[in-house]
Structure 1
Amino acid sequence: MVHTTHGLSIGIERAGREFFLKLKAVGTLTHDDYKVITPMIDSALGEVKHPIANVLIDASELEGWELRAAWDDLKLGVRHSKEFNKIAIYGNQEWQARMAKIGNWFISGEVQYYENATAAIDWLDE
């Protein structure tokens, strides 16, 4: 029997209106993964008037998305576009760098790709 690990884990820190979200994506993400994570993000950001969020996405173990999950990811980004100040994506694949560039089209804040986690965190802290 083959056991395939996939999913999203989330950490949320809050200081007033400011949030720091840390997401780790593993394997191939599914619609069910987003059914779990989306309400968490919606709830955290929905409790604050005009929230500001900086996000670190660890995509170093991300293999991709199922089609419906990719759509879920796009919807989540668009719904919270104005709340995302900076999104740093830490990964190790060229397609992840391209996805970061595409993300800039849909997010009002900045999206940057890094191959080094420390550099990504330093940019978020600027």
Structure 2
Amino acid sequence: MSSQAHGVTIELSEVAEHYFIVIKATGKLTHQDYLALAPALDAAIVKVNQPRVNVLFDASEFQGWEIRAAWDDVKFAFTHGSDFDKIALYGSHDWQSFAAKLGDWFIGGQVRSFKEYNQAISWLIDHG
């Protein structure tokens, strides 16, 4: 029996004195992944020490959700949506543009989709 790697990593990153949270999803996310994600993200938000934070969501190795995890994602957006100023969705999936538009409804800030990593970072640190 083979198993595929899946999960979420969260880190605090800094570029040109601008801090943001990097969330990297790998494989197909499960309910257990979301149980680990919530407290880790809460801790990362506190470390940024800003009223609202910027996030790079790296979906370059993301393969989707199990059904229960998809519901967890919706609940997560409702719970934390007002914590975010900008979310850059990075990857090359066909669904990303739609997800960014949908995210704009649930997130207090802006959500944009990027196929180029450097463009995502530039948008996150731009104050305009």
TM-score range, shorter chain: 0.7 to 0.9
Partner of 1:65: 65
Take 2:118 and 2:44, find their aligned partners in 1: how far apart are those partners? 25
Partner of 2:120: 120
Q: 1:120 to 1:48 in 2, by over 3 A?
A: closer
How many residue pairs match? The answer is 123
Q: In the TM superposition, what whole-angstrom CA distance separates every residue of 1:50-92 from its partner, at most 9, and x where no partner exists?
A: 7311000110111101111111112112112111000000011
Q: What's the RMSD between the two structures over aligned residues?
A: 2.0
Q: 1:13 to 1:92 in 2, by over 3 A?
A: closer
TM-score of the two chains, using structure 1 as the length reference: 0.87
Partner of 1:3: 3
User: How is 1:1-126 mapped onto 2 (pairs within 5 angstroms)?
Assistant: 1-12=1-12, 20-45=20-45, 51-126=51-126
- Where 1:38 maps in the other structure, the secondary structure is helix
| Percent identity (aligned) | 46
Q: 1:122 to 1:79 in 2, by over 3 A?
A: same
Can you give the 5+ residue segments of structure 2 that lack an aligned partner in the other structure?
none
Q: 1:41 offset after TM fit, Å?
A: 1.4
TM-score of the two chains, using structure 2 as the length reference: 0.86
Q: 4+ runs of 1 displaced by more than 4 Å? A: 46-50
Once structures 1 and 2 are overlaid, which stretch shifts more, 40-49 or 73-82? Answer: 40-49
Q: Could you tell me whether the CA contact under 8 Å between 2:11 and 2:44 is conserved in 1?
A: no
Take 1:65 and 1:84, find their aligned partners in 2: how far apart are those partners? 22
Q: 1:6 offset after TM fit, Å?
A: 0.6
Can you give the 5+ residue segments of structure 1 that lack an aligned partner in the other structure?
none
Amino acid at match of 1:107: I
Q: In the TM superposition, what whole-angstrom CA distance separates every residue of 1:19-67 from its partner, at most 9, and x where no partner exists?
A: 5110111111000001111111123436888731100011011110111
